[in-house]
């Protein structure tokens, strides 16, 4: 077993990562060792990243133990960059973490500086190991007498590339700030971001909700200037002890309506599994509009009256927020002739525009049931001939006498979807559907699964739906 990480005290005793546990125990017999939990570490790191979103929305996780904050244009909120970094260190300190940080023009430079405990402008003093190439490259660089990044910086790039590969020159340029790489932030930045900071943390939920409504009003003002409305809203409540509560809202149509926002927010809060706990209070509340769509400034109808379409959309938004988007559905036709696969129930929040359903021939009774069982339910059927219509069937322990029937309507399986479906006997079972009516006047949709004698010796019967 090998030591993965050691605390400050262990380091002062000469222990460190990479050392064998047995060797360490030989030096310090009463050391405490715990199993390495990479997942828990990653989890903790991403929670820290979330907490760091208070400084900038561009926070990227750099495993195994670094965070990159792109503070371009965000430092002025704290005075300057140094003060921002100091604030972050103080907060991490208060939460019981020790952190090394560095500021630099590029992400890689900052990472390298922080890892080697140096500050901004000291890139030249970094050891070549900061390039994070493999051990062999580092060794050969040192053999060539190049111990520091500064030694490499003066060399012509072409020679270095010829000797050690392009990779090295790219990394070198990144550390020296000549080239930048994009970072991969945790979250997409919203189109519109509004936030409010509090000198004195908010300890009441109501205050926080009022603040969110105000933030939305601000955001919708900015959306109004662009002729847009919010479709997806993300809210983050930063607690002063580092905990972050996240709320999301989605609307059925672009909106700038503050009343609707308040209603949806209330629904969202009620639907939370674990309710918001302000604890020691929120000191930063941020609202971002993640997705927006064009929305022309609305004009009230001259003669009054409500806009009914808007009402329908806001009802959909409200119900979807409360029960989850999958529970409020619109039907759409799917491209399949298998009865149970011929439909989709899509979330009504972003249902596609309606397509016309198949028209019925006039004066025919309904050929498809109103209620469908998916999967179909087994029935016991007595038929006069094995491949004929049902004569009597038993469903849910009740016997039904067939008084009228129509059929069969033959529906083949989708043999082209199956492997070797074109071969005889491998195309799946054909269904023979019958519309039947029993003595009480109830109408059923029964089918025989498989052609008698050809596909199956003793086909099963199912009830697939009920007619009105």
Partner 1 sequence: MNTIDSDSGQAVEPSPDTPSAVPPASPAKASALRTKLARILAASGVRTSEDKDAPSHFGFGVEAIDSALRGNAKADGLPRAALHELHAESKDDRTSAAAMALLLAQRCRNLDQEARPVLWVSESGEARRQGRLYPPGLAELGIDPDSILHVDAPDSIAALRAAADGVRSPAMAAVIIELAGKKPRGLDLTATRRLSLSAQKSGVLSLMLRSNSDPDNPLPTAAFSRWLVAAAPSLALEANAPGHPAFDIKLLRHRSGLYGLSARLEWNRDDQVFREQHSEQSAPDTGAVPALAAVRTDHQGTRAA
Report the nearest approach of partner 1 to the CB of residue 285 (Å). 16
Which 74-93 positions form the footprint of partner 1 (CB under 8 A)? none
Strand partners, 48: none
- Which of the ranges 63-71, 102-110, 129-137, 326-334 carries the binding residues for partner 1, by CB under 8 A? 326-334
At residue 233's C-alpha, the angle toward residues 229 and 235, to 5°, is 145
Chain positions 331 to 360 lying near partner 1, rule: CB under 8 A, are 331, 333, 339, 342-343, 345, 348, 354, 357-358, 360
What is the three-class DSSP state of 351? coil
Q: Is 65 or 368 the residue whose CB approaches partner 1 more closely?
A: 368
Q: Which is nearer to partner 1, 175 or 349 (CB)?
A: 349
Distance CA 175, CA 154 (A): 14
Beta carbon nearer to partner 1, 309 or 419: 309
Q: How many binding residues for partner 1 (CB under 8 A)?
A: 71
**Residue placing its CB nearer to partner 1 in the complex, 70 or 437:** 437
Which of 5, 166, 315, 382 binds partner 1 (CB under 8 A)? It is 315
Subset of 210-229 contacting partner 1 (CB under 8 A): 214, 217-218, 220-221, 224
In eight-state DSSP terms, residue 415 is G
CA-to-CA distance for 400 and 381, rounded, in angstroms? Answer: 10
Measured from the CB atom, is 189 or 271 closer to partner 1?
271
Output the smallest distance, CB 380 to partner 1, in A: 17
317 binds partner 1 (CB under 8 A): no
Q: Find the binding residues for partner 1 in span 394-413 (CB under 8 A).
A: 403-406
CB of 336 to partner 1, least distance (A): 11
Could you say whether residue 28 binds partner 1 (CB under 8 A)?
Answer: no
Q: Is 453 in the site for partner 1 (CB under 8 A)?
A: no
Nearer to partner 1, 452 or 467 (CB): 467
Q: How far is the CB of 209 from partner 1 (least distance, A)?
A: 16
Tell me how far, at minimum, the Cβ of 293 lies from partner 1, in Å. 19
* Alpha carbons 56 and 85: distance in angstroms, whole number: 12
Work out how close the CB of 393 gets to partner 1 at its nearest, in angstroms, rounded to a whole number: 13
- CA dist 335 and 318 (Å) reads 31
Does residue 441 bind partner 1 (CB under 8 A)? yes
Least Cα distance to 343 among 371, 321, 362 occurs for 371
Residue 343 beta carbon to partner 1: minimum distance, rounded to whole angstroms: 5
Q: How far is the CB of 227 from partner 1 (least distance, A)?
A: 12
436 binds partner 1 per the rule CB under 8 A: yes
166 or 345: CB nearest partner 1: 345
Chain-centre distance of CA 273, in angstroms? 18
Site for partner 1 in 355-384 (CB under 8 A): 357-358, 360, 362-363, 365-374
Least separation in angstroms between residue 331's CB and partner 1 is 4
Cβ of 174: how many Cβ atoms within 10 Å? 19
Three-state DSSP class for 225?
helix
- Candidate list 328, 349, 381, 446; residue touching partner 1; CB under 8 A: 328
**DSSP, residue by residue, 237-253:** EEETTS-EEEEEEEEEE
Q: SS3 for 465? A: strand
Our CB check for partner 1 shows the closer of 8 and 301 to be 301
Could you give the 3-state DSSP secondary structure of residue 291? strand
* 437 contacts partner 1 (rule: CB under 8 A): yes
Rg (CA), the chain: 34
Q: Which 133-192 positions form the footprint of partner 1 (CB under 8 A)?
A: none
CB of 384 to partner 1, least distance (A): 14
Contacts by 299-307 with C-beta closer than 8 Å and gap 24+? Answer: none
258 binds partner 1 per the rule CB under 8 A: yes
* Calpha distance 333→341 (Å, rounded): 9
- CA end-to-end span of the chain, whole Å? 71
Q: Which residues, in sequence order, are CB contacts of 150 under 8 Å at separation 6+?
A: 123, 124, 125, 126
Contact 393, 400 (CB under 8 A): yes
> Closest separation between CB of residue 264 and partner 1, Å?
12
Q: For residues 91 and 448, which CB has a smaller minimum distance to partner 1 in the complex?
A: 448
> Among the candidate windows 88-96, 125-133, 327-335, 415-423, which touches partner 1 by CB under 8 A?
327-335
Considering the complex, state which of residue 11 and residue 367 has its C-beta at the smaller distance from partner 1.
367
Identify residues 292-311 at the interface with partner 1 (CB under 8 A).
297, 301-306, 308-311
DSSP reduced 3-state for 166: helix
Phi-psi region of 232 (alpha: psi -120 to 50; beta: other; left: phi over 0): beta
What span, in angstroms and rounded, lies between the C-alpha atoms of 61 and 462?
55
Which residues, at least 6 apart from 249, have a Cβ–Cβ distance to it below 8 Å? Answer: 232, 233, 234, 235, 261, 264, 265, 268, 321
| Distance separating alpha carbons of residues 267 and 322, to the nearest angstrom | 5
- Which DSSP letter does residue 361 get? P
């Amino acid at each position: 077993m090998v030591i993965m990480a050691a605390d400050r005290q262990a380091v002062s005793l000469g222990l460190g990562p990479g050392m064998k546990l047995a060797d360490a125990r030989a030096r310090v017999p009463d050391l405490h060792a715990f199993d390495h939990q990479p997942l828990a570490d990653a989890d903790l790191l991403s929670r820290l990243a979330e907490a760091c979103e208070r400084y900038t929305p561009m926070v990227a996780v750099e495993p195994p133990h670094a965070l990159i904050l792109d503070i371009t244009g965000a430092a002025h909120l704290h005075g300057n960059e140094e003060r921002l970094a100091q604030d972050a260190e103080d907060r991490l300190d208060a939460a019981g973490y020790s952190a090394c940080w560095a500021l630099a023009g590029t992400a890689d430079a900052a990472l390298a500086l922080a890892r080697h405990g140096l500050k901004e402008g000291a890139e030249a003093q970094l050891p070549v190991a900061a390039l994070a190439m493999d051990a062999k490259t580092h060794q050969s660089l040192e053999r060539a007498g190049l111990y520091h990044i500064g030694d490499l910086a003066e060399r012509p790039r072409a020679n270095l590339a010829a000797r050690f590969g392009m990779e090295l020159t790219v990394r070198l340029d990144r550390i020296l700030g000549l080239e930048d790489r994009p970072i991969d932030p945790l979250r997409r930045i919203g189109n519109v971001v509004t936030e409010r900071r509090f000198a004195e943390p908010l300890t009441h939920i109501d205050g926080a909700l009022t603040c969110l409504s105000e933030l939305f009003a601000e955001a919708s003002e900015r959306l109004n200037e662009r002729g847009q409305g919010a479709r997806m809203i993300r809210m983050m409540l930063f607690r002063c002890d580092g905990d972050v509560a996240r709320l999301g809202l989605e609307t059925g149509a672009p909106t700038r309506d503050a009343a609707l926002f308040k209603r949806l927010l209330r629904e969202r809060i009620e639907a939370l599994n674990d309710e918001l706990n302000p604890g020691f209070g929120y000191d930063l509340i941020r609202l971002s509009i993640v997705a927006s769509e064009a929305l022309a400034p609305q004009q009230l109808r001259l003669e009054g009256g409500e806009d009914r379409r808007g009402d329908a959309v806001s009802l959909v938004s409200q119900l979807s927020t409360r029960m989850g988007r999958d529970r409020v559905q619109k039907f759409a036709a799917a491209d399949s002739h298998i009865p149970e696969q011929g439909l989709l129930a899509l979330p009504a929040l972003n249902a596609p525009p309606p397509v016309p359903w198949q028209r019925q021939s006039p004066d025919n009774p309904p050929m498809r049931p109103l209620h469908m069982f998916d999967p179909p339910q087994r029935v016991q059927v007595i038929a006069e001939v094995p491949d004929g219509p049902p004569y009597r069937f038993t469903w849910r322990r009740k016997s039904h006498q067939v008084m009228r029937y129509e059929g069969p309507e033959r529906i083949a399986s989708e043999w082209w979807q199956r492997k070797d479906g074109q071969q005889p006997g491998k195309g799946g079972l054909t269904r023979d559907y019958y519309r039947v009516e029993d003595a009480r006047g109830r109408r059923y949709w029964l089918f025989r699964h498989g052609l008698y004698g050809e596909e199956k010796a003793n086909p099963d019967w199912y009830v697939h739906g009920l007619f009105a």
